[in-house]
Amino acid sequence: MEKLPWTVTVGLVVAAVFSQVSCRSSSMRRVTKAQVLGFDWKNCGQTQDPAVLKSLEVSPDPINIPGELKASASGSTSVELSSPLAVNVTLEKEVVGVWVKVPCVENLGSCHYKDLCDILNQLIPPGQDCPEPLHTYGLPCHCPFKAGSYSLPQSDFYLPYVDLPYWLTNGNYRVQGVLGSQGKELACLKLSLSIHSN
């Protein structure tokens, strides 16, 4: 099986967005201790979507921030994923039993990202080694990602202290990400989780 990390790019984008927001935003607050509980996921794309996540496992539950995280993932795509790769993110928070769409504020929330490939290049400049554990497994971290099967074996990650906007703290959240190119949907993924912080 060819090991390519298309599923890992989701995490890299989240890290890139958080780092960009943390540097610019005055409405951020340092979270010294947080927990993510009830993490769940599912595919939400059409049957003809070429890219599909087959497995995604994270532990422990709850996930502590800061703290250690174990994760593994696998999936496949029948087409090459190349620039431009647009990502439409819809973020919802449960407020008094009603799901409310969170607007896009300083590149965080329900946002449209024009090109995932550009974000990856900003986060990890071309020519620089890919971060661990991608480097250890010889996995690329830049576009294009070839068609084929994708797999990331169980790997250890460390989640550091983070700065979060005041509204992204305690509560239940749903996130939907749609990956597309040239007006065609390539993949769709839904996540649900709860955040409890100090």
Q: pTM of the prediction?
A: 0.82
Which tens digits make up the pLDDT trace of 19-70? 333 444 445 565 678 899 999 999 998 889 999 999 999 999 999 988 999 9
Say which residue, 198 or 191, is predicted with more confidence. Answer: 191
Q: Give the percent of the chain with pLDDT over 90.
A: 52
**Rounded-to-5 percentages of helix, strand, coil across the chain:** 15, 50, 35
CA angle 78, 88, 156 (to 5 degrees): 70
Angle in degrees, 0-180, between the axes of helices 8-24 and 116-123, rounded to the nearest 10: 70
CATH superfamily of 8-197: Ganglioside GM2 activator (2.70.220.10)
In angstroms, how far apart are the furthest CA atoms of the chain?
A: 48
Which tens digits make up the pLDDT trace of 3-13? 334 444 444 44
Average pLDDT, the chain: 83
Q: Which residue has the tokens 């074996």?
A: 153
Domain residue ranges in the chain = 8-197
Which tens digits make up the pLDDT trace of 67-81? 999 999 988 999 999
CB neighbour burial string for 161-180, b if at least 16 within 10 angstroms, e if fewer: ebebbeebeeeebbbbbbbb
